[in-house]
Amino acid sequence: MSGNIVCSVYSCCGAGTAADTEKTTDMLRSNITLQILSMGRNPRLIMACRILQDFLYRHRGQISAMLLLGGVDCTGPHIFTVGPYGSEDEAKQLVRDAITAGITNDLGSGSNVDLCVIRRDGVEYIRPFELGKYKYNKGTTSVVSEQTTKLQVDLVEETVQQMEVM
């Protein structure tokens, strides 16, 4: 791992392709310098972390750099790890959270979370990944009024057919 000073109180070290790691930290240093000039103070370390995450996400794994970002900002000391990849479990949880947000905000979306995991060797369908938990305690929703209407039904046609018995 090689360490690079990003600004006076932030440092970033990384592993991976040396050129990718160096250019990524150079990009971060440039962005942080612009933020310092714009705001007149050091930005929070989480902002530097987000800049790295956005940069690596935009390049979709083409940059081979696993970074460790640390320093002290106005909220205290922090250490972040930033990589171009996430685990499969992290991806499943991210998709689950997105689908759950859709379910809770759209009544027509259903209630269960189903996932499809696509790998090089095939596709795995996980149904259900998570079942909706929509059991409400009695009395949670108040009944404003209750009305029962008896329906008048007329029989129009009745057909009887014989079944074969074996």
Question: Domain-by-domain residue ranges, the chain?
Answer: 2-82, 88-130
Average pLDDT of the chain to the nearest whole number: 82
Q: What is the pLDDT of residue 122?
A: 79
pTM for the model stands at 0.51
Taking CA atoms, 155 is separated from 52, 133, 149, in Å, by 72, 41, 19
Superfamily of domain 2-82: Aminohydrolase, N-terminal nucleophile (Ntn) domain (3.60.20.10)
Question: Are residues 100 and 130 in contact, defined by beta-carbon separation less than 8 angstroms?
Answer: yes
Taking CA atoms, 56 is separated from 70, 83, 159, in Å, by 18, 7, 69
The pLDDT tens digits of the residues spanning 61-109 come to: 788 888 888 888 889 888 888 766 667 787 788 778 877 877 777 777 7
User: Roughly what angle, to the nearest 10 degrees, separates helices 45-58 and 18-39?
Assistant: 130
Q: What is the pLDDT of residue 134?
A: 66
